[in-house]
């Protein structure tokens, strides 16, 4: 009897769990794992590829086909991988059920496998079928496992990038908020200044000092609230203010 046939027999006898669909798929999942069966000694971790996916409902036919296709895809690799996941560490599952066949094992890739996968990922974040098959052979894994690893890796990369972008936007938002507050304060100061000293707006340029750093005009009569530093924009000051607004990382707090 071929391993697949054994697996099929086992899989069909593994009618466990509550609702059919997912549970049956769980049986299918065990196909991937190096799964010690309760029929065997615990120490003998010879895995039988349980093709119980064939017991899947009609809605899973496509997936089953896919699985079968992928297994056929690289049979040589499969056989090696199925029986020699020894290169990876497959930790015994906490099979708390009596049968012990239906709990999904989780493959832990070895450091070498992970390193090589990472290297390949750095080169290309996607693989064509030939690359996938070759890499799978090299790693002693199934092509499907390599494919899944790349999918998950892409997802992790994307997630990380999203986090970075989020952090950037957060800082950008904080900067803009602060800038907005500052502009509001300046506006209030200018209004107060205009109200108290209308002549200040007609001061000769020589009477005002320009900060060389931020090019703001200082020297206007200080208000009690701020101690001065009222910004009177020069010609084009509106543009500069706008630049402040739209350049959140400009060092506007220098002065």
**Interface residues toward DNA, by CB under 7 A:** 21-22, 25-26, 28-29, 31-33, 59-60, 62-63, 65-66, 69, 89-94, 103-109, 114, 126-127, 129, 144-145, 147-156, 158
Residue 78 exposed, middle or buried by CB count within 10 Å (0-12, 13-18, 19+): buried
CB of 100 to DNA, least distance (A): 11
Question: Which residue number, 114 or 233, has a Cβ lying nearer to DNA?
Answer: 114
Q: Are 27 and 97 in contact (CB under 8 A)?
A: no
Which two tokens mark 217? 């005009």
Torsion angle of the four alpha carbons 149, 153, 156, 157, in this order, in degrees rounded to the nearest 10 = -170
Question: Which residue number, 145 or 252, has a Cβ lying nearer to DNA?
Answer: 145
Question: Which residue number, 154 or 170, has a Cβ lying nearer to DNA?
Answer: 154
Question: Which residue number, 38 or 208, has a Cβ lying nearer to DNA?
Answer: 38
Nearest residue to 79 (alpha-carbon basis) of 27, 24, 143:
143
How crowded is residue 185: how many other Cβ atoms within 10 Å of its Cβ? 15
CB of 13 to DNA, least distance (A): 18
CB of 255 to DNA, least distance (A): 41
CA distance 22 to 149: 22
CB of 247 to DNA, least distance (A): 30
Question: Which residue number, 23 or 188, has a Cβ lying nearer to DNA?
Answer: 23
Residue 251: strand, helix, or coil: coil
CA distance 183 to 162: 31
CB of 28 to DNA, least distance (A): 5
């Amino acid at each position: 009897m071929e391993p697949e046939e054994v697996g099929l027999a086992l899989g069909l006898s593994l009618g466990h769990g509550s609702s059919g669909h997912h549970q049956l798929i769980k049986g299918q999942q065990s196909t991937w794992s190096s799964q010690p069966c309760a029929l065997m000694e615990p120490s003998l971790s010879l895995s039988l590829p349980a093709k119980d996916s064939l017991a899947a409902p009609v809605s899973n036919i496509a997936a089953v086909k896919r699985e079968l296709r992928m297994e056929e895809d690289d049979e040589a690799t499969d056989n090696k991988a199925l029986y020699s996941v020894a290169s990876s560490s497959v930790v015994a599952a906490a099979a708390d059920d009596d049968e012990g066949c239906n709990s999904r094992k989780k493959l832990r890739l070895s450091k070498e496998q992970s390193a090589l996968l990472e290297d390949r990922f750095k080169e290309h974040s996607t693989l064509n079928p030939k690359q996938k098959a070759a890499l799978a052979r090299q790693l002693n894994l199934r092509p499907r496992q390599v494919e899944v690893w790349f999918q998950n890796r892409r997802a992790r990369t994307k997630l990380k990038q999203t986090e970075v972008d989020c952090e950037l936007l957060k800082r950008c938002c904080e900067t803009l908020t602060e800038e907005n507050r500052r502009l509001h304060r300046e506006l209030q100061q200018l209004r107060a200044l205009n109200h108290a000293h209308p002549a200040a707006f007609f001061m000769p340029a020589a009477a005002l000092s320009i900060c060389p750093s931020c090019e703001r005009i200082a020297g206007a009569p200080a208000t009690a609230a701020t101690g001065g530093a009222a910004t009177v924009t020069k010609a084009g000051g509106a543009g500069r203010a706008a630049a402040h607004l739209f350049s959140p990382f400009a060092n506007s707090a220098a002065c």
